[in-house]
Structures are given as structure tokens and as C-alpha cells.
Amino acid sequence: MSGNESRLQAIYEITNREPMPPKTPKRLEELWASDVFTLSKMQEGLPKDVFKSLKKTIHNGEKLDPSIADVVASAMKEWAVSKGALYYAHVFYPLTNATAEKHDGFISIQSDGSVISEFAGKVLVQGEPDGSSFPNGGIRSTFEARGYTAWDVTSPAYVMETDNGSTLCIPTVFVSWTGEALDKKTPLLRSNAAMNKAATRVLKLLGNTDIAPVNSSCGAEQEYFLIDANFANSRPDILLSGRTLFGKAPAKGQQFDDHYFGAIPERVQVFMQDVEEKLYKLGIPAKTRHNEVAPGQFEIAPFFEAANVATDHQQLLMTVLRNMAKKHGFICLFHEKPFKGVNGSGKHVNWSVGNPTQGNLLDPGDTPHSNAQFLVFCGAVIRGVHKYGPLLRAVVATASNDHRLGANEAPPAIISVYLGSQLEDVFEQISKGGATGSKGKGTMHIGVDTLPVLPTDPGDRNRTSPFAFTGNRFEFRAVGSGQSVAGPLVAMNTVLADSLNWIGDKLEAELAKGIELNSAIQSVLKEVMDQHGAVIFNGNGYSEEWHKMAVEERGLANLRTTADALPVLKEKYIEDLFAGLGILSPVELASRFETYAEQYILSIEVEAKLVISMAKTLIYPAATRYLSELSNAALSLKEIGLDLEVETIEKVSSLVKSMMEKVSKLDSALGSHDFATTEDHMQYLSKTIRPLMDEVREYADGLEAEIADDLWPLPSYQEMLFIK
Ligand code: ADP
Ligand code: MG
């Protein structure tokens, strides 16, 4: 293989890499939650009445009794110290999609100069990281920067081990001095409470008497890329922006579909096994692993959990993947589109609601037409997704996810609901006056004598839908791979709560008129279908026809970019939705718009600057060196009476010239700073800067196809995607 010096060096390092030392695998029972302060460990370490009180808070959402904090803190500390912890950290989730933590020692110095480990209840319950540098969208100015973290009792504490010891980690909410949410956890907890309230009300109306608290659940499928660190480290674009800003597609991409569900390369499998061991110790139920569509792309999906816990675990999972990748000489990329021309990565957020008494409220059973409870909850989701579709688009809007949504590999930016043929038929019947039957499960004959006849699911799958019913839950597929799942979960819980309240009002009014419950349900569901049925779409979401029909006939929004979608957060009906349910105040919502808009602006500006510097300092020099080689050769040949074909020289020189013209255009376009509003600034980046970046890239990628391989300064797609 040819290649310039640093690329050759990288390949040498990879091919001569020492494999990780083998480990003896441990039994699941031994690993499971060994680093978590679980309920059973609490029970062991706490007096009976304290444990009972704490359990009430965890399971029933009752307020934490402050008088037990000292006892709990002391038991937690004893356990953590036995695991080698000297420090504790309040872990919180700022608006950046990242996880933040502030570490403090247990150390307390005594008057005689000796030390003891101390952990009082009040520092367990509340912390005060300065945190003034986190984006807060104007809620806090630095002179009144107090931000508090407060223990979230419903998400278990754990220890995070490194090679040199461990730290007790306590999941917390992060709020301002005046109690405003500065994080992603606070609204998630509030949205769950609002949904619980609305769901309980509706369950009562449906005749239930024993109703346990309703919780939302989440199972997130995480896609990611693994690239050898030797390559990633010589690509400034991957290091700084998480994606390649240049790079010509390899001769072989994913067109053979030979990577998807293929045998996992051994080096990657060893990595995955290390990840899974760590996850099990942290009580994260890793369940599925496989190769994804693109070369170098993989997926991990844990079993679903309560939404709040699943969200913390999702953040932890990304941290574990990132750190473990480094140990194995990889870089783990969560960017939604790290490589042009091959599939990007998403995060499918599977979501449902339920409780121990009524079970999964989105489980249709075998005969959904007669399952009033299911139909009401499913109808509520349909209304919510239709009425607030633009909100669901806005919560997945990031600069990086713009590359993916609508690019024929991921769901379109149009938010619709896929129900599958059985449910579509049932709701069709409802809108015509009443559902009387459900299409049953089919059977599948495989034609091999030794195999049994297999039952088929009543609904097929549809990979092109952004919001699909998948048997007993909805799967929100438009979420970006690098995103926190909190925002999407907040939106889903919130729109469901709103719809359930609407349904509750309707049902109450009908019942008050003396109308029988079943007819009342039928009429409210018919109204849902009449007003919101337009959101249901079972066809091909990638097709041209759908894009036309969705917008022109059905009136659905097609918000293509983040610049189009984020301003939805400023609309009055969205403000009313969140404020009415007590999930986000207008100030908190506005701060989210400001923060996410700023992130969008910053990420595009960073990328644009990188495009300019890489084009100037890496690609231009390589191209001119090659040109000088070619022209020297041409001159020498002329001396002995021969001619070099001049087409390559002409082509390279014209590509260089065009690239540099675009670079200077991009450079001066970046100089514009006069924008009346944030929205204008975002539109400018989306409509002017991004296309210019693409134009520079097009010429640069053209050069990569022409220039001598040993002069090309950047590891190629082929190298990064195929050498492991
Ligand atoms: P797919 O076929 O979509 O790739 P996977 O098995 O990879 O499915 O992932 C499905 C995810 O959905 C898992 O995390 C699973 O635990 C989760 N899931 C299953 N039931 C529920 C539910 N009731 N609520 C939330 N998530 C669920
Ligand atoms: Mg899926």
C-alpha cells in the first residue's frame, strides 16, 4: 500500500498492534450491578424504617424525607469506600448532550491533624457546582451564577472505576438559584409526573380503581462508528468536529450489504465484550449487539428501563463506549454522519407507558379493536404526534442530524406515524363508525419440513417512518446518535399528557350527558381520527410522492433543517403546552431555544473554519507539490523529445484554482456578523455557509482522485473504514 509518511506509520501501528491481553469471562450473576448501590444493598445497609421511606420515594414518587438523608448518605459512603472510593461526584446533564460531574473528596481533617471520611446527608442531597460556564440560554448571568445539583433518588448511585480507584457517582438534577431547570433531567422528571397525572385520570374514567403510578419506559438502540485511533488522530476534522469534512468515497462502500449483521471483526468483538462487562457492572442491561449497515458501524441496544433511569444509563453507555474505545485503540464516533456516502448513525428511542397494575398501556393484545384502554392511549399518541409534530422535529434538530434526516437512509424530516396494517385497519374502522374486528396474526410457511410453521406479526416493519408502532411501543427513529434521549422523551411524555387531558375532558363531558362509556370512547376516538388521522402513513417515507402529499394534501410540516425546526420552540402553542403542564416555564423554554441555536451556530462555524484551514494547509500544498512534480516531468520529457499527457496537469490545476476560489468565498462569507435575529443567523449558516463548505469539498475530493497517493495527507475512507 502506498500513502504518505504519516498514513503509512498509522497502518504500520495498526497491523503490528498487540492484541488486548485475554481475560477470563465472568458470570453474569457475579457482574450484575456490582458497582451500583442497589435497593438490596440499601436494604442491607439501612434501618428498616429508613429503607421503607426511601423505597416509597423511589417507587411512588413521594417526596424525600430530609430527616433520613444522613443515614442514607452514611450507608452509601460505607458501601462506596468498600469499593475503593475516596471521592464522590454529583453527576448532572447540562443542555449540551454531555454528562457533567463535580468531584469532592470524602476527606475531613480533624483538629489533631488526622483525617476521616465524611459524607453528610446535606451534601448527598444538594451540591453547588459553580457551573457558570454551562450554556443556560440567558437564565443565569455569571454574577449570579449559583447553580445547584440535587439528588435524584429514582436513579441509583454507582461507583465509576478507573485503573487507580473509584468514585461514587450520584445522579442529580441541575437547577438555577431561582429553581429554573438548567439541565435535561429536571424536565424529564416533570414530564413523567404530568403524564402520570393525566394517565391516571383517564384510567379512572375507564373504570379502573386500583391504579399504580404510571411511568414511561425507554429502550434506546445506539449506532456508532469505530475508527482506529491512529487514523482519527491524523484527521483534524474527526478530532474537532467528529466527522470527515473531506474524503472521496472508496471504490467499495456499503453497496454489497456485506457488513450489515455480518460476522463482527474479532478486535471489535473483544472491545464489545469489555464494554458489556462494564455495563453489566453498572447495572445497564446490554442485550443486543451487531454490525450495522456501513462498514465500521455497529449497534448496541440495552433492554428497556424506566425512562429516567434509561436516560442516565444511555449517557453512561456513551461514556463507557468512548472510554473503552480509547483503551482498545479506537475512536468511537457518535456523529450522525461521519462519512459521506455511507449510512449515518441514529438512536432509535423505543418508548411506552405503563404501570404494575394495568401493565403496558400500549400493548394492543390479540384483538385491539376491543381493547378500549389500548385504543385510547394509542389514539392519544396519534393526536399528540399530529398536533405537535413540529415539536418532535425540533427536539431532534442539531447541525449534525441535519445530514441524516431526509437523506434516504433515515426517516424524512416530515413527522408521521406508522401503525402497521392491523392497527391502521382498526383505526380506519373507528373513523367509519366503530371497530368490530381485528385482522389476526398470520402464519408463515417456510417450506422446510423440519421447521415449524411460524406465526407472523400482525404488522410489518417500516424502516422509513420516523415514528413507528412496533408491537407494544412506539419507536422514535429520527433521534440523532449523539443526542441525549431526554429531549425526545420529554416531548413524547408531554404531548401524550396533553392528549390524555384532552381525551379526559371529552370523556367526562360525554359521561356527564349520560352517554355510555363505550360510545363515549368511540366518539372521542372518531374525533381523534377526523382531526388527526392525516398523520398516519404506512407507505414509503422516502418517496417523492409522500413528500408532496404530506405537505400539500395532508398539511404536515417538512422542516428540513435545524434552522427551520428550532424556532418551533418559540411558538405560542408550544409555550402554552409546556407551561400548562408545568414542564417548562416560558423562560426555561426560551433558554433552550437560545442554547440549541447557539450550539448549531457554533458547530457550523467551527466546521467552516476547519474546512478553510484544512484546504489551505493540507490539501493545497499536496496539490501544488503534485503539480510541480508533473510539470517537472513534462519539461524533462520535452528535452528528450517526448510529450507528457497534459490533461492531468490541466485538471489538477483547475481543481486547485476552483477550490481556492471557494475557500476565499467561504472565508469572506464567514466574516458576516450582522444578523438581526438568531433565526436569521441560523438561516444564513444553513443556506450560505453550508453549501459553500460542500463546494470546497467537492473540488478537494476531486483532487483526492487525481493526486499521487503518497502525497495525499489525510487517511482515506478506504483506510479508515476497512483496516481494523
Ligand atoms: P429492532 O428490531 O428495532 O432493532 P431491538 O431489539 O434492537 O429492536 O431494540 C428494541 C428496543 O426496544 C430494546 O431496547 C427493547 O428493550 C425495547 N423495548 C421493548 N419493549 C419496550 C417497551 N415496552 N418500552 C420501551 N422499550 C421497549
Ligand atoms: Mg430499531
pLDDT, tens digit (0-9, with 9 covering 90-100), for 298-354: 999 999 999 999 999 999 999 999 999 999 999 999 999 999 988 899 999 999 999
Index of the ligand 1 atom closest to the CA of residue 360:
23
* pLDDT of the residue at 128: 80
| pLDDT higher than threshold 60 for residue 70 | yes
Which phi and psi (to 5°) does residue 300 adopt?
-130, 135
* pLDDT of the residue at 148: 87
Choose one of 261, 350, 374, 470 to mutate for the ligand 1 pocket test, by most ligand atoms within 8 angstroms of C-beta. 350
Q: Taking a C-beta distance cutoff of 8 angstroms, is the pair 504, 201 a contact?
A: yes
DSSP conformational letter for 181: B
Alpha-carbon dihedral sign for residues 491, 496, 499, 501: negative
Pocket lining: 288 vs ligand 1, CB cutoff 6 Å: yes
Q: Band the pLDDT of 616: cuts 50, 70, 90.
A: very high
Domain 191-599: give its CATH code.
3.30.590.10
Pocket lining: 303 vs ligand 1, CB cutoff 6 Å: yes
Q: Amino acid letter at 143?
A: F
Between the CA of 346 and the centroid of ligand 1 the distance, in Å, is: 15
Between the CA of 184 and the centroid of ligand 2 the distance, in Å, is: 24
DSSP conformational letter for 609: H
Index of the ligand 1 atom closest to the CA of residue 351:
25
Domain over 32-183 is classified CATH 3.10.20.70: yes
Instruction: Average the pLDDT over 251-280 and give the result.
Output: 82
Beta bridge partners of 172: 151
Q: Which three cell numbers stand for residue 544?
A: 417523492
Q: Band the pLDDT of 19: cuts 50, 70, 90.
A: confident
* pLDDT of the residue at 612: 98
* Residues making up the chain, counted from first to last: 724
Range scoring the smallest mean pLDDT among 118-122, 359-363, 365-369: 365-369
Q: Taking a C-beta distance cutoff of 8 angstroms, is the pair 324, 333 a contact?
A: no
* Domain ranges, ordered by start, for the chain: 32-183, 191-599
Q: What is the largest CA-CA distance in the chain?
A: 105
Pocket lining: 40 vs ligand 1, CB cutoff 6 Å: no
Nearest ligand (C-alpha, residue 292)? 1
Q: Taking a C-beta distance cutoff of 8 angstroms, is the pair 601, 682 a contact?
A: yes
Choose one of 192, 218, 221 to mutate for the ligand 1 pocket test, by most ligand atoms within 8 angstroms of C-beta. 221
Q: Band the pLDDT of 64: cuts 50, 70, 90.
A: confident
What are the residues whose beta carbons fall under 8 Å from the beta carbon of 698, sequence distance 6 or more?
none
Instruction: Average the pLDDT over 22-44 and give the result.
Output: 94
Q: Which of the pair, 581 or 64, is modelled with greater confidence?
A: 581
Model pTM greater than 0.85? yes
- Measured CA to CA in angstroms, residue 438 lies from 361, 362, 418, 427, 535 at distances of 18, 16, 17, 10, 21
Which phi and psi (to 5°) does residue 380 adopt?
-65, -40
Instruction: Average the pLDDT over 572-594 and give the result.
Output: 97
Pocket lining: 317 vs ligand 1, CB cutoff 6 Å: no
Residues near ligand 2 ion, CB 5 Å cutoff: 221, 348
